[in-house]
Amino acid sequence: MRISSFPLAFGLLLSGCIAFVAMAWGEHLSLQELARRSDAQAHALQTQLQVRKVGALLVDIETGQRGFIITGQSAFLEPYEQARLDLARSYGELKIRLMQGEAPPPSTAALEALITRRIAQVERNVALRWQQGEAVLKDLSGYVSGKQLMDEIRHELARLEAQQAALVKQTQAETAIVRKRTTELASLLSGVGVLLIAGALLALLLERRRRDRAEQALLAANSHLESTVAERTAALSAALARIQSFTAELDRGIEAERRELAREVHDQMGQIGTATKMLVLALRKKLAPAKEEMLDELLTLADEMIMVARQISATLRPPLLDDLGLAAAVAHYAKTLERQGELAVQLDLRDEDRLSAEQRNQLFRILQEATTNVLRHARASRLRIAGQAGDSSYGLVIEDDGVGPGPVRPDASGLRNMRERASLAGGSLQFGPGHEGGSRIDVCLPLAVRRLGEEVEG
């Protein structure tokens, strides 16, 4: 009896299809498990990076407040303030990630309490530095307690990071098991697997070539962009240098014109006033014993002309600044301020010989602008002007006891002009509240330091 091969073939084909479907379903489940484990591993790694980011922000806060406490410069507070803002957001993201993990979330109560205590301690240190100045540096108790808190915070961060590292290792181990099972299932699909691998290799080869071309194009674009940026930067730097040179030259030209104009006003108007006065005196003597009231008025006008000529000349360019130096010119200017209003001026200028002529001129102009603002807006009764040279810089302080600095108007140019003059002299200017409640201006200019018989820029 001959058995038909069709049912056998059909059965074998049906069995093969059923086996293939079963293996394909097992492959699908294995791939889902791999994807889930990969997501868990990526989540643990990202959480670990978030822990490190929180630690880095705490270090930035610590570094910013320490730099401010040591130097007293408010520039160190900019990274400190930014790190404080970023810390709240990053720590919130860390807590969310810890809650979203597959494993039970670790406790963060101790870490949160330590961070809160440290932030409060840092804020207190910054406030004490503002209030007490450099005296805070002598108190080491805050540094010791801060270091202890930071050590405890680092310990808690290390604990969280170690937990995430353990999760990564556990996930890697589970992923390895799933991969092994997947490999075993894939090996049963030998024929189909070969075709799939060949197709995958071909697709990968094509993708690799496409990516190589894209990477080469990107490198070429980056190179072109870098060269363009370098050219633009060099052009902008050259333009800025030309602008600064032109500004300095323009300022020197203005000062030269002021000096010439002051000399002309003093010589011409002063001589005319003096000649007029002499003529009136001669005329009155000639008319004596007769007396003419208009001659007295002419004498008064001649005296006023001489006085106005001297005032205009001193305002344009004080002759004492060129003849006797900065201290003499400032002293004369201070007496003028005291005569103009009820303002007591305390003056202490030293080491002006260390300054160049350009620096002396800029300091005097800054002083004029600052005192003008004091007379107009400060309602002050005392003004202190002090200057002294250090090892490599000269510092000038202008401080009053008035109402203190208020909001700066958008159209105000006084403070901007003073900063520009300090920059032209190679230094910087700081404006803020004074120790007596008024305003304070600090000007710092570099000095030429003498070493072994030669001068180098300090």
* pTM higher than 0.85: no
Amino acid present at 167: L
| Rounded Cα–Cα distance for residues 151 and 160 (Å) | 14
Distances (CA, A) of 345 to 280, 326, 330, 335, 384: 39, 16, 11, 8, 6
Buried residues in 395-407 as b, exposed as e (16+ CB within 10 A): ebebbbbbebbee
Tokens of 347: 């003056």
Please report the pLDDT score of residue 2 as a whole number: 46
Residue 338: partners with Cβ closer than 8 Å, 6 or more residues away: 344, 345
Which helix (H) or strand (E) segment is 456 a member of?
strand 454-457
| Rounded Cα–Cα distance for residues 145 and 140 (Å) | 9
Please report the pLDDT score of residue 201 as a whole number: 63
- The closest alpha carbon to 445, from 330, 356, 334, belongs to 356
CB atoms within 10 A of CB 159: 15
Which helix (H) or strand (E) segment is 210 a member of?
helix 190-264
Q: What is the DSSP string of 245-288?
A: HHHHHHHHHHHHHHHHHHHHIIIIIHHHHHHHHHHHHHHHHHHT
Residues facing residue 454 across a β-bridge: 451
- The closest alpha carbon to 331, from 344, 317, 356, 348, belongs to 348
Q: Mean pLDDT of successive 10-residue segments in the chain (458 residues)?
A: 50 66 72 77 81 84 80 78 82 81 72 83 81 73 75 83 82 80 70 60 69 86 88 82 66 63 61 72 72 72 72 63 78 80 84 86 87 83 90 91 75 79 88 86 84 46
CB 345 within 8 A of CB 334: yes
46 three-class SS: helix
Angle at 105 between CA 104 and CA 107, to 5 degrees: 125
| Rounded Cα–Cα distance for residues 383 and 342 (Å) | 11
Please report the pLDDT score of residue 202 as a whole number: 63
| Rounded Cα–Cα distance for residues 256 and 254 (Å) | 5
CB 347 within 8 A of CB 387: no
In angstroms, how far is CA 404 from the centroid of its own chain? 24
Please report the pLDDT score of residue 458 as a whole number: 42
Please report the pLDDT score of residue 197 as a whole number: 58
Please report the pLDDT score of residue 449 as a whole number: 63
